[in-house]
Amino acid sequence: MARVSTRLVIRRARLVRDPPANGATVVVVGDRIVRVALAGEPVAPEPGDWEIDADGRLVVPGGVDAHTHLGMGALLRFAGLPVRYPGSPRALRQGFRRPVEDRLAPADLEALATASALAALRAGTTTVFALERAMPGEELATLHAAERAVRAVGIRALLAHGASDLGGAHRGKDSARAAVEFAAPRAGDPLVRGMAGLDGLHATTRETLDALTEPTARFGIHASVCEDASDLERAWALEQKWPIQLLDDSGLLGSRTLVAHASTLATPEADAIRTADATIVVAMRAARYWGVDPVSVELACTSEAPLALGTDGLFADLAGEAVELAAHLRRRRSAPPPGAEFLEESVWPTGAVLASQLLGTRLGAVEPGAAADLVILDWRPGAVEPEGRGGNAAILWAGAPAAWVVVAGEVRLREGVPLGVDPVEVSARAVEAARRALAE
């Protein structure tokens, strides 16, 4: 990693605005953007400046992945399971994830998570909400392992251990306890925070939901719910309630709640999400791959429930999720697609808004006073300038790798080369970890 002692000055930047701004200069001091000068506004050099020539490439805020699995996501990719595994998400959970997680040591999760974090960095993602699981009895060690991974790569992270009673009635309470032990000492950390976590309702008891109330109230919760119909079946069997209503009744729904997937979303649940100011995270590509229905975007829109984008750990580039969501909306037959502002002003910024709230710093903007989380994409538009902002612009640059990445004022990627980690070593360690995890 490289911290600039005085100023970081990015010149000849192309900013995604309406209209677009070419030839801009972005000045960073410490961990903040202090000035954005448009073409023609001079920015005099100062001794000690680190000058970066964007050379007409796009400079955008770092992406925020609102739902990923760093360890398991890397393992699925290394194992080739997204291509080879024939079963449903339920079969994957029972036939693959549970036995693998039961023997996945924290050290191996760290190696896998480092590979995922590096892939995210190279794709221009600078903040992740990650939900992790590993062998039983190692809940706190699992969170520490994920923390070492993201700190080594240099991205921001909000880390949670997915509570579930799968494998034992005590496991959910152990996870809730680990959430408090991990999150409390990091309550003021600018880069890594902790949250409560919930890995579905399919094997979760009322005791576990009760145990999650305290860490949720203090730190928020990252809940993966209703990836398929299993959680709906469980919630109705437990208390004859919709899954998100069950979360609400358990005190787990609030302004710092992420509900990932929610594929069985019903109107009462969408209303509860809106009332609590919680956030639904849609992972369109993962849902499409596994053959399950994504959350009803139409219902969420109608209820004005906040939506954010996540990769579910299967993919690295967040802009690809924007493309998939836009394609999904255009394929609708029952009604015309929402206006252009839906993706631009509603969905794309939501993850950054929530991360800003939880981390105590302003993310998702290239403006004075915002956090210096910046990406220079290796992408230059042709004769036609890109219009729009946020998610609409992301559709245009999807697939473009990051050339430079700055996180909290520190350069973490320089012309495609990561600083502070050896990508060859990271890959080798992850491959060995995957081999151990898949040995049986």
pLDDT in tens, the chain (440 residues): 555 467 999 999 999 887 778 999 999 999 999 999 999 999 999 999 999 999 999 999 999 999 999 999 898 887 776 656 666 677 777 777 788 888 899 999 999 999 999 999 999 999 999 999 999 999 999 999 999 999 999 999 999 999 999 878 899 999 999 999 999 999 999 999 999 999 999 889 999 999 999 999 999 999 999 988 889 998 988 788 999 999 999 999 999 999 999 999 999 999 999 999 999 999 999 888 888 888 998 889 888 999 999 999 988 999 999 999 988 888 765 666 676 688 888 899 999 999 999 999 999 999 999 999 999 999 987 766 666 677 888 888 889 999 999 999 999 999 999 999 999 999 999 999 999 988 86
Tell the CATH topology of 63-357.
TIM Barrel (3.20.20)
pLDDT of residue 96: 77
pLDDT of residue 308: 97
| Number of residues in the chain | 440
Is 207 buried (19+), middle (13-18) or exposed (0-12) by CB count in 10 A? middle
Please answer whether residues 9 and 50 qualify as being in contact, where contact means their C-beta atoms are separated by less than 8 angstroms: yes
Q: What is the distance between the alpha carbons of residues 322 and 398, in angstroms, rounded to a whole number?
A: 8
pLDDT of residue 387: 65
Question: Whole-prediction pTM value?
Answer: 0.95
Q: Residues near 369 by Cβ (< 8 Å), separated by ≥ 6?
A: 32, 33, 362
Q: What is the distance between the alpha carbons of residues 153 and 121, in angstroms, rounded to a whole number?
A: 8
Q: Does domain 2-61+362-418 have CATH number 1.10.150.530?
A: no
Q: Pick from 368, 364, 406: which is nearest to 41 by CA?
A: 368
Please name the residue ranges forming H helices in 154-220.
171-183, 206-211, 213-219
Helix axes 106-122, 139-153, angle to 10 degrees: 30
pLDDT of residue 245: 95
pLDDT of residue 340: 65
Tokens of 54: 């964007």
Q: Order of strands across the sheet with 196-199?
A: 196-199, 221-225, 257-261, 279-282, 307-309
Domain with CATH 2.30.40.10 in the chain: 2-61+362-418
CA torsion, ordered 82, 153, 284, 266, to nearest 10 deg: 110
Cis peptide before 19 (omega within 30 of 0): yes
Q: What is the distance between the alpha carbons of residues 262 and 300, in angstroms, rounded to a whole number?
A: 10
Domain with CATH 3.20.20.140 in the chain: 63-357
Q: Residues near 56 by Cβ (< 8 Å), separated by ≥ 6?
A: 12, 14, 22, 380
pLDDT of residue 332: 66
Please answer whether residues 389 and 395 qualify as being in contact, where contact means their C-beta atoms are separated by less than 8 angstroms: no
Tokens of 63: 């992406």
pLDDT of residue 87: 67
Rg of the chain's alpha carbons, rounded to an integer? Answer: 21
Q: What is the distance between the alpha carbons of residues 100 and 439, in angstroms, rounded to a whole number?
A: 9
